[in-house]
Amino acid sequence: MPSALVESGIAPWADEPHESALAASGALVERALSRRGLTASVLPVVASPRPRGARARVKLRVGPTGQLGFFRPGTHTFVAVPLDDLVRPELVAYAAALEASGKARGAFELRSDGARVVVNAERSFAGPVDLAVLDRKVRGNPTLLVDGLRVSPGSFYQVNLELNRLVVARIDTILQELAPARVLDLYGGVGNLSVAAARRGVPVTLVESSQVAVADARHNLAGTGAIVVKADAGRVRAGDHVADVVLLDPPRAGAPGLLQELALGRPRGIVYLSCDPVSLARDLAGVPGYRIDLVQPWEMFPGTEHVETLVVLTRGEPRRLR
């Protein structure tokens, strides 16, 4: 009989052996690239430092008897789920206290930076000290400090704190090897991928459409000389921003047509972090003049089919990346 995590749909691979799940995630990336006729060596999936209890964010709702849990996918059938194998310990403790209080209402997201827990709810309710409703502060301080970056209630941050640190460090190593004169960070969010380069003095232009994330990015990149632009990164055209290396971390839908547009500006390198292998493969297909130097999957969402994939495209001679 499947576990509650599988039954709820929140972690459909939770009952699989960890090594089998990692291999299956890598196979998803390989198949997506192959179906688009892309030839590239896919590295083994980098495992989450926390194979269980990894998530720093979770959206919950209150069930008919006051328990916290989820609706089964595509239904209004409520499933109460033990959270120990899904979210970080501080979120487990917070959710248990909230459930015991009987004060929670409706649907809400618990968010942690590894120390503090805050609530971003659909409607206000008593109990949380640090509460936002529909991304707006109601009381306390619902803004987090995630690895030194300000993250407001409506701003995105990666769900797996430990793995995100590894991804960010890997990308920063790649940037140091590419030695860009200027970086363009598309779908830049609060500055997660480019802040280290900006603080080293690399000129950075960050493009982000969310007003709240733009405000966070300007705060996080203050004093570095970085330029933060509020705009739709998917509509950027060649020549809009000068850069010889481009970062992009789009949503699950990917960035259709954007790589072809960026290629017209002939950047030396494109570093693409994707959360969906299918949209990634579609975006990579048919980019003229570029070679895939790296395909590295990461286990950002243990227990699920969702895999994060880092791809590096470069022009010129083949490059061996550390």
Catalytically active residues, by annotation: 275
How large is the angle between the packed helices 18-35 and 277-284, nearest 10 degrees? 30
- Is residue 3 exposed (0-12), middle (13-18) or buried (19+ Cβ within 10 Å)? middle
Q: Taking a C-beta distance cutoff of 8 angstroms, is the pair 233, 273 a contact?
A: no
**Rounded to 5 degrees, what are φ and ψ at 38?**
-95, 130
Q: What whole-number distance in Å separates Cα of residue 39 and Cα of residue 160? A: 29
DSSP state string for 26-62: HHHHHHHHHHTT---PPPPPBPPS-SSS-BSEEEEEE
CB 91 within 8 A of CB 110: yes
At residue 275, the 3 state secondary structure works out as coil
Alpha helix segments (H runs only) across the chain: 4-8, 18-35, 89-101, 161-178, 195-199, 211-220, 258-263, 277-284
Output the CA angle 244-245-251, nearest 5 degrees: 140
Q: Is the dihedral of CA 215, 236, 168, 225 positive or negative?
A: negative
Residue 83 dihedral angles phi and psi, to the nearest 5°: -90, -5
- All residues at 6 or more sequence positions from 234 whose CB lies less than 8 Å from its CB, including other chains: 250, 255, 256, 258
Q: Which residues of 97-111 are buried (b: 16+ CB within 10 A; e: fewer)?
A: ebbeeeebeeebebb
